[in-house]
């Protein structure tokens, strides 16, 4: 659908050569207004520079739809990530792509094509409790398919502070930290006070009644008294891993 730079160059050369009237070129430019301008290029640029995977958010799509989209993305040659994928989605995808992998906890399907760059630096993924693991794992899988190295620090909630403190050196060596926590979500603030790098806080929907489906942890993290904490949507481990990968890639370049 996009008009690539070659076409634009060809058009301009047509004008130069007298094969295309300026008025006709004008019309054609107006009708395809944005394609020559870098948007498509942007996407291209991204693919080249970033090793960004193409991503499918599965909820609300049929198994067949995901399978079709997955196949199309694989043809483009980059890595592919399907999030919130039920086991039957993976089963269908794996038939077509035996190299696809499934992380049950994170409910994520990944397919790696070509070699990742050698990862530099690392991302620390931290979670408060066992119930927060699916979100933490979604962050990890996402960052890894984006070519980053991840260290995990699970089950280090603030109720047993010594477990977290025992990890402080490891956390301080990361370029960015992802914190997945439900209930009161205090872990993000405490980690934010321990490290000097950005903390991406992912509230989870784990908790008793007044956690209101993650609202409590969300507000906690937004109000963090530690200065380096920013927040993504409830249970959105994908976003946490994605942003962390963006940061670590820059830090390590």
Question: In this complex, which beta carbon is closest to a copy of itself, that of residue 33 or of residue 98?
Answer: 33
**Minimum CB separation from a copy of itself for residue 71, in Å?**
16
151 Rama sector, left if φ>0, alpha if ψ -120 to 50, beta otherwise: beta
Q: In angstroms, rounded to a whole number, what is the distance separating the alpha carbons of residues 162 and 166?
A: 6
Instruction: Based on the shown chain and the rule CB under 8 A, indicate whether residue 198 belongs to the binding site for a copy of itself.
Output: yes
Residue count of the chain: 253
Q: Please, which contacts does 116-120 make with residues 24 or more away whose CB atoms are closer than 8 Å? A: 116/51, 116/147, 117/51, 117/147, 119/147, 119/148, 119/149, 119/252, 120/149, 120/252, 120/253
Q: In angstroms, rounded to a whole number, what is the distance separating the alpha carbons of residues 42 and 143?
A: 21
Given 4, 44, 46, 177, the residue binding a copy of itself (CB under 8 A):
46
Instruction: Based on the shown chain and the rule CB under 8 A, indicate whether residue 221 belongs to the binding site for a copy of itself.
Output: yes
Cα of 91 vs its chain's centroid, Å: 23
Given 4, 45, 96, 104, the residue binding a copy of itself (CB under 8 A):
45
**Minimum CB separation from a copy of itself for residue 182, in Å?**
8
146 token code pair: 């984006």
**Minimum CB separation from a copy of itself for residue 119, in Å?**
15
**Minimum CB separation from a copy of itself for residue 177, in Å?**
11
Binding mask 222-251 for a copy of itself (x = CB under 8 A): xxxxxxxxxxxxxxx-xx--xx--xx--xx
List binders of a copy of itself among 105-164 (CB under 8 A).
Answer: 128-131, 157-162
Give the count of residues interacting with a copy of itself (CB under 8 A): 111
Q: In angstroms, rounded to a whole number, what is the distance separating the alpha carbons of residues 16 and 173?
A: 58
Instruction: Based on the shown chain and the rule CB under 8 A, indicate whether residue 13 belongs to the binding site for a copy of itself.
Output: yes
Q: Which one, of 251, 240, 46, lies nearest residue 143 by Cα?
A: 240
Given 35, 44, 97, 116, the residue binding a copy of itself (CB under 8 A):
35
The b/e string for 77-107 (b: 16+ C-beta within 10 A; e otherwise) is ebbbbbbbbeeebbebbeeebeebebbeebb
**Minimum CB separation from a copy of itself for residue 23, in Å?**
7
Q: In angstroms, rounded to a whole number, what is the distance separating the alpha carbons of residues 122 and 124?
A: 7
Question: In this complex, which beta carbon is closest to a copy of itself, that of residue 49 or of residue 98?
Answer: 49
Question: In this complex, which beta carbon is closest to a copy of itself, that of residue 102 or of residue 237?
Answer: 237
Instruction: Based on the shown chain and the rule CB under 8 A, indicate whether residue 186 belongs to the binding site for a copy of itself.
Output: yes
**Minimum CB separation from a copy of itself for residue 194, in Å?**
7
Instruction: Based on the shown chain and the rule CB under 8 A, indicate whether residue 61 belongs to the binding site for a copy of itself.
Output: yes
Instruction: Based on the shown chain and the rule CB under 8 A, indicate whether residue 81 belongs to the binding site for a copy of itself.
Output: no
């Amino acid at each position: 659908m996009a008009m690539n730079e070659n076409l634009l160059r060809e058009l301009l050369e047509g004008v130069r050569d007298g094969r295309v009237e300026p008025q006709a070129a004008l019309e054609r430019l107006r009708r395809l207004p944005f394609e020559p301008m870098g948007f498509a290029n942007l996407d291209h640029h991204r693919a080249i520079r970033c090793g960004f995977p193409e991503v499918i958010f599965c909820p609300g799509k049929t198994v067949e739809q995901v399978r079709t989209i997955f196949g199309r993305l694989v043809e483009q040659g980059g890595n592919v990530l399907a999030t919130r994928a039920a086991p039957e989605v993976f089963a269908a995808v794996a038939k077509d792509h035996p190299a696809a992998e499934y992380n049950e906890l994170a409910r994520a399907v990944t397919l790696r094509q070509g070699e990742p760059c050698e990862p530099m630096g690392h991302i620390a993924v931290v979670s408060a409790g066992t119930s927060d693991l699916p979100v933490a794992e979604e962050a990890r899988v996402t960052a890894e398919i984006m070519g980053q190295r991840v260290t995990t620090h699970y089950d280090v909630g603030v109720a047993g502070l010594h477990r977290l403190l025992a990890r402080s050196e490891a956390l301080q060596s990361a370029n960015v930290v992802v914190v997945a926590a439900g209930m009161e979500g205090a872990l993000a603030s405490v980690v934010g006070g321990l490290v000097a790098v950005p903390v991406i806080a992912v509230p989870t929907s784990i908790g008793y009644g007044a956690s209101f489906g993650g609202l409590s942890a969300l507000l906690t993290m937004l109000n963090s008294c530690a200065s380096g904490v920013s927040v993504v949507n409830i249970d959105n481990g994908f976003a946490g891993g994605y942003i962390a990968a963006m940061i670590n890639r820059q830090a390590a370049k």
